[in-house]
Structure formats: C-alpha cells, structure tokens
Amino acid sequence: LHRQLRIYTVDPSVPKLEGAVAVISIPYEPLAPGPVGRLVCVHDYDEECDVRYRPADLDDRRVLIGNGYEPSQSDPRFHQQMVYAVASSVSATFRRALGRQITWRPGCDQLMLRPHAAKMRNAYYDESVGVIDFGYFPASENAPGMLPGGFVFTCLSHDIIAHEVTHAVLDGLRAEFRHPSGPDVVAFHEAFADLVAIFQRFSYRDVVMNAIGRTRGKIEQGGYLTSLAQQFGAASGRCSALRSALGINQETGQPEQYNEHFPPHRLGSVLVAAVFEAFVKIYRRKMERYFRLASNGTGKLPPGEIPHDLQIVLVDGVTKLASEFLSICIRAIDYCPPVGLTFGDYLSALITADVDLVPDDPWDYRGAIIESFRKRNIYPRHAANLTVDSLLWRGSRIDLPAIEELSFANLRFRGDPGCVADDNELRRQADVLGEFITQPAHMTEFGLVFPNDPQLEGDEVLPPRIESVRSARRIGPDGQIVFDLVAEVTQSRKVRPHAGSPGFIYHGGSTIIFDPDGQVRYIVLKSLVGYERLKRRKEFLNGPVGQRFWELSGNVYRQRRNLFNLLHLESEGETCS
C-alpha cells in the first residue's frame, strides 16, 4: 500500500538530533528508474555540466529494503528520491483533502522534476510545459554555518519542493490563477504554496517534538516550524530564513497589515500569517486543559523541561490540528471564483467549505480564522459584516431547475467517483453544463454576457468556456461522506484601448457547486461587466506590481512569460552585511 522513503524534513542544515531525517510513507506505485511514476517524472539532466546523472531505481530490492537511498548531499540519486518523495506526499495530501485524483495543467499527464536543472539561485515551476526546475548555487562568503562557496541544492529543501509542487497542483485546479489579473492573485499563489509547505512539515514528529521541547509548547517560537527555506535564505546572504509564517512588521513589531501595493511575496506573507495565527489560537485553546493538568491548575509550567508525557500529548494534538488546517485550506480552493481571486474571496471560501463539511464548530475554528483575517484588514467586498453567515457564498438569485444529466446517478466514473472521467464523459458533462448556463435567462446568474450587451461598451467577448467539471468526495468528522460536483466557467472580454488607456483581456465567470442530484448549491461569480472590478484591473496594470508581469505590445497589455520565475526572482529583504 505504501512505499517508505527517507527525506530531509527541512534541509541539510538541520542537525540530525533535531529531526533532520524522516521516513515518510507515500502511496505505492511501480516505478521506472528516474524515478518515473504515474503523476511524477524525475529527469536529472544538468545543463550547466552537460551531464545526465544515473537515475535512481527505487524498485531495486536492495534500495527498497533500506527505505530508499541514504540521505546525502553528494549522491544525485538521493536528490532524485527527495524530489519524488516530497512531490508524491504533497500530491497525496491534496487528493485526501479534495476527495479525488489530482491532475496537472491541460495536456500535462506527468509533472517533470529536474533536480539539477541549472546553476541558479532559484527554483520555479514553468507553467508553459509543466516542469519544475531546481537550481543549485555556491553559498555566499558570509553564510552562517556553511562552507564558503559550497553548493546549496534547492532540490534538498523540503519547503522549496513542497512550494513548487503546490504551484503545479494549483495550476491544475485553477488554470486562470496563472494570469496575474490583480495583486491578490499572484500573492495568493505564493501564500498558498507557503501554507502547504508549513503545515506539511508538522507531519514530521521528530521536528515537532524537538520544537515543542525547546519552546515549552509555544509553537509560534518553534524556529524550523515557522521558517521557510532556512538554508536557502542563509546561503543567499540573508540574516534568516527566506520567509516566516508569523508576518510581523519589523519596524512596528505588530502584525503586517494588508496593502494591495505590497510586492507579491510580502503581500502573500500577510495571508500566511492570518491563517497561521488562527492555527496557533486553536492549538492553545485545545491544549490549555493539558497545561492546567501539568501545572496543578495554574496553567504556568514550572521551570525546566516540560514532562515527556505532556510533550507527547502536545505533539499528537498539533500534528492532527495542522493536518486539519491544511485540509481546510485545500478544500477552500473548490469554493474560490475561477478568476480575479482576492484574499477576501478566499476567506469566504474557507468559511463556506468548512460549514459545508463541519456544520458544528465547537472549538470555533471559523471564529478564529475570521478574527485573524480582520486583524490584518482582509475581508471580502461582498460581505455586510464579518460573521459566518455573512461570509457564506450564496446560491442562485432565481429558481434554477436541477440538471438531471449532471446528477451522480447519471455521471459515468472510471469505477470510483474520485477518479477523473474519460474524455468522452468530460465532454458530455461540459456540453450539458454549457447548454444550461447559456440559456438567456441564466447567463447573468453565472457572470456571463451576450456579445451585444450594452454594458460592454462596444468591447468584444468570446463564447463562454467550461474550464473543468470535477467530482468531490469528502469525509466529515463524524464519518459522513459528502459528494459534490464542482465546475468552472469563464468568459473573456477584449477591452479596447480607450482615452490613452491600453487594451487588455479581461475575464469573468463563476464556480458552480452542484449537489448529488444536480441542483445548484453555490455560484461564486465574477461578472464581466462589473465597473469597480474593471477599474481596479486598470489601476493594477498601470501600477508597479502589474507592470512586472504585463508589458505593452502596441497599445495592448500582454502577459510576460514564466510567471513563477518572475515571482521568484523578486528581490525582497536585506542581506547580512
């Protein structure tokens, strides 16, 4: 059922006694040398040295019995094992949370991982071909604890691998998120990838145990638990890790506030900090009883090392809670609009997805999430106030009949609702949905417009496009299984150059969630003719962040290539002097 492989839990800079190495279990599959599996293919060609490294054979029985290759910075086969194992683990996490098999970008059956792609201080997902390139580079002369000039391999950083694989998974889930249509869209890609990397690390018990013991249960002071890409940051000449989950403003010492003019990484860190603060708040709430028991009711532990039994209880609690929070964050993607995502939209998606699966909330997860977002001035524009009922997405404003052809009774699965349907069935579902949403009485409900709509002010629109139709099977805390069908529909508007303002492509549409009977439950829409959203888009394109990702060609804005490479080349933070 599972294959056990050794990995670095953080990166090679972590001492062995602090949980540097873990044996993780990933879903078993037969592997060709590379390793090459069903979803992931490792291709280890070094362009800098013009050499193809010997591929790792993880099905060799001598390798299998030893839980893979020995962790090593100098053995390329372990590097290949590392990227495959972490990528498979992240993929499995998404599959469990979403209740279905994941898929990559259209036309990409396998995600290719290149552990030694080039000599560069970077690692990035190339969305045009479905490849993740990991670079390597010599450490700076003043890198603490490192051999000056010694090579740092990004493919050995757990955080970097998990981060880049998350970009690829999210690209498969929401293709339009690769278009930087606003400040929150590109920042969300970075924030979401960081959240997955952070919460994934909490599954490594030795790392968590060490942090719990060192901080006396205060996980927000846990060092490795709250820092991202520690070795990469140090080797690049920074004073600390690349990023932190705490999101504290260095000048004020207070939580960083949302500011749409921030660069993507800094803006994304605000979202990361909001989610992580809610996580810490629930952790304290759940563990408080154990601190009281261990302190004779005072809640204040005596000096010295905390009792070992308490450490075990805290580790069990925080690892389970991190898994729950990661699932909450991932499930919310199905409840996000297909285009023009904002952090406020994601807050509504988090709350709606959680209410759907867990109607009762005795520990007030949702209240903690809302409060931490409010502290950072993150809220949706559509909400009247920051209460759970105001943040929930709504259904249709008109009575819509159930689509019988999209009921689970009439869907044709490949033996399991979690498996992707074949091409013929997907086309049938798209045709049925397309016919339904383009009926004249339904178009507006799904954020779509007809070509001659006067609100377009003479702009051209393309026909609506069904981006995806996917099943979702989720298991609630009381064991109940919830089935849904999640669909995306988009439409493109060609905004004409006007009064000195260049033209650009503008997207609208909606995410539609159906119940098992084919009845519409939620419509999460972004209208093509909303004036305020169109105005914000123009301001973004003309601003410094927008111009990083868009360039003028003639009198029309066109997106620059390699979005994620541009993101990761962004220079933020000071280096150590």
What per-residue confidence (pLDDT) applies to 571?
45
Q: Would you say residue 155 has pLDDT above 90?
A: yes
What per-residue confidence (pLDDT) applies to 483?
86
Q: Which of 133-142, 460-469, 526-535 is the most confident on average?
A: 460-469
Neighbours of 323 (CB within 10 A): 17
Cα–Cα distance for residue pair 187/567, rounded to 1 Å? 9
Neighbouring residues of 557: CB distance < 8 A, sequence distance ≥ 6: 502, 503, 504, 541, 550, 551
What is the DSSP annotation of 302-337?
A: PSSSPPHHHHHHHHHHHHHHHHHHHHHHHHGGGGS-
| Residue at 202: amino acid letter | F
394-427 exposure pattern, b = at least 16 Cβ within 10 A, e = fewer:
eeeeeebeebebbbbeebeeeeebbebbeeeebe
Look at strands 520-526 and 123-126 and give their pairing: unpaired
Q: Provide the token pair at 306.
A: 């905390």
Mean per-residue pLDDT for 303-323?
A: 92
Q: What are phi and psi of 388, to 5 degrees?
A: -60, -45
Q: Would you say residue 238 has pLDDT above 70?
A: no
94-124 exposure pattern, b = at least 16 Cβ within 10 A, e = fewer:
bbebbbbbbebbeebebbbbbbbbeebbbbb
How confident is residue 297, by pLDDT bands cut at 50, 70 and 90?
confident
What is the DSSP annotation of 535-556?
A: HHHHHHHHSHHHHHHEEEETTE
How confident is residue 240, by pLDDT bands cut at 50, 70 and 90?
low
What per-residue confidence (pLDDT) applies to 302?
84
What per-residue confidence (pLDDT) applies to 229?
59
What per-residue confidence (pLDDT) applies to 239?
52
- Contact (Cβ atoms closer than 8 angstroms) between residue 567 and residue 131: no
What per-residue confidence (pLDDT) applies to 572?
43
Q: Would you say residue 231 has pLDDT above 80?
A: no
What per-residue confidence (pLDDT) applies to 414?
74
What is the tens place of the pLDDT at every residue in 246-261? 777 777 778 889 999 9
Q: pLDDT over 70 for what percent of the chain? A: 94
Closest C-alpha among 189, 50, 183 to residue 127: 189
pTM over 0.95: no
| Residue at 270: amino acid letter | V
What is the tens place of the pLDDT at every residue in 42-89? 999 998 888 899 999 999 999 999 999 999 999 999 999 999 999 999
Q: Would you say residue 223 has pLDDT above 90?
A: no
What one-character DSSP code corresponds to residue 565?
H
How confident is residue 327, by pLDDT bands cut at 50, 70 and 90?
very high
What per-residue confidence (pLDDT) applies to 432?
95
Lowest mean pLDDT among 11-20, 117-126, 390-399: 11-20
How confident is residue 576, by pLDDT bands cut at 50, 70 and 90?
very low
- pLDDT higher at 499 or 357: 357
How confident is residue 144, by pLDDT bands cut at 50, 70 and 90?
low
Q: What is the rounded end-to-end Cα distance, in angstroms, of the chain? A: 51
What per-residue confidence (pLDDT) applies to 317?
95
What one-character DSSP code corresponds to residue 126?
E
Mean per-residue pLDDT for 287-313?
A: 88
How confident is residue 575, by pLDDT bands cut at 50, 70 and 90?
very low
How confident is residue 381, by pLDDT bands cut at 50, 70 and 90?
confident
Show the CA angle centred on residue 201, arms to residues 249 and 227, nearest 5°: 25
Mean pLDDT value across the chain: 88
How confident is residue 236, by pLDDT bands cut at 50, 70 and 90?
low
- Contact (Cβ atoms closer than 8 angstroms) between residue 461 and residue 494: yes
Q: Would you say residue 314 has pLDDT above 60?
A: yes
Q: Which of 178-182, 224-228, 347-351 is the most confident on average?
A: 347-351
Q: Provide the token pair at 430.
A: 């798209």
| Radius of gyration of the CA atoms of the chain, in A | 24
